[in-house]
């Protein structure tokens, strides 16, 4: 094994890997994701293209490492959340996520269009990121289950999907928010927390719980919810049951 390959498992190798990653994220933010090549990244990091490829097979892999890092940092943080109310735990989790993303705002902004393309290898709704979406949804399930006012288990599953969807909506809003220190994003997050407080006492009501289940069923396939979902033929049958016969 060459020293470069073996370096992947040494402190020196880890430093090289981190330097390449930081160089890539800097170039994505300053030059643009599509415009940046692996050769550019290697030059910025001060390494040969060959060595750079030994650590990262493509620039897509570099983006996925950033996604994974953010997901792991948020997951670690939420494991130590106090058993507060569900709205407060949701607010704390999303606030932490936004803080984690601040150093990478230019990079994430440059990835905006690519990240929203489900056919892109780094799209947030692509097959490549499915495991990350599953991980993030599990994080929200733990946030809900650890709340002192957690709902019944079946609703925990539905809410995990819906709150993870709200998490992604907050990220999208934050990326386009040009207000000073993203104060509009903070207002939006506080609004979501307060709305959750308002509806939480009535979550057990059948019309509300059924509506939540339906919404989770719609969003689930996009958000890493692997529970059995209603297939199109089943949806058509469900619609037909509500059609009144003409007189």
Phi, psi at 111, each rounded to 5° = -85, -5
Q: CA-CA distances (angstroms) from residue 2 to 8, 12, 118, 170, 214? A: 10, 14, 38, 45, 55
Predicted pLDDT at 153:
87
Phi, psi at 81, each rounded to 5° = -65, 145
Is CATH 2.30.33.40 correct for 65-227?
A: no
Phi, psi at 42, each rounded to 5° = -60, -45
List pLDDT tens digits, range 18-41: 999 999 999 999 999 999 999 999
Predicted pLDDT at 51:
93
Domain boundaries, the chain: 1-57, 65-227
Q: Spell out the residues 6+ positions from residue 117 whose beta carbon is closer than 8 angstroms to its own.
A: 123, 126
Predicted pLDDT at 2:
38
Predicted pLDDT at 205:
94
Below-70 pLDDT ranges, the chain: 1-9, 228-247
Q: 3-class DSSP state for residue 174?
A: helix
Question: By C-alpha distance, which of 218, 100, 230 is closest to 165?
Answer: 218
List pLDDT tens digits, range 232-243: 555 455 545 544
Q: 3-class DSSP state for residue 2?
A: coil
Q: Which residues of 221-239 are buried (b: 16+ CB within 10 A; e: fewer)?
A: ebbbbeeeeeeeeeeeeee
Structure-token match 């307060």, residue found = 194
Fold (topology level) of 1-57 = Arc Repressor Mutant, subunit A (1.10.10)
Question: How many angstroms separate the CA atoms of 94 and 18, rounded?
Answer: 26
**H helix or E strand, kind and range, residue 190:** helix 183-199
Predicted pLDDT at 11:
86
């Amino acid at each position: 094994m060459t020293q470069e390959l073996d370096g992947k498992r040494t402190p020196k190798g880890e430093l090289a890997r981190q330097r390449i990653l930081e160089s890539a994220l800097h170039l994505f933010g300053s030059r643009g994701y599509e415009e940046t090549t692996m050769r550019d990244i290697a030059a910025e990091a001060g390494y040969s293209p060959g060595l750079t490829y030994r650590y990262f097979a493509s620039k897509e892999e570099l983006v996925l490492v950033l996604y994974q890092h953010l997901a792991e940092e948020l997951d670690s943080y939420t494991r130590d959340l106090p058993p507060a109310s569900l709205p407060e735990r949701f607010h704390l989790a999303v606030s932490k996520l936004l803080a984690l993303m601040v150093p990478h705002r230019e990079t994430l902004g440059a990835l905006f269009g690519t990240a929203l393309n489900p056919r892109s290898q780094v799209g947030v709704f692509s097959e490549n990121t499915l495991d990350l979406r599953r991980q993030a949804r599990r994080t929200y399930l733990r946030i809900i289950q650890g709340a002192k006012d957690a709902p019944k288990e079946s609703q925990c599953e539905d809410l995990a999907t819906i709150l993870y969807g709200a998490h992604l909506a907050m990220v999208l809003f934050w990326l386009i928010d040009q207000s000073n220190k993203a104060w509009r994003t903070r207002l939006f997050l506080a609004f979501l927390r307060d709305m959750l407080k308002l509806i939480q006492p009535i979550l057990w009501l059948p019309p509300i719980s059924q509506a939540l289940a339906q919404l989770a069923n719609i969003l689930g396939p996009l958000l890493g919810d692997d529970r059995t979902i209603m297939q199109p033929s089943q949806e058509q049958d469900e619609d037909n049951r509500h059609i009144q016969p003409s007189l």
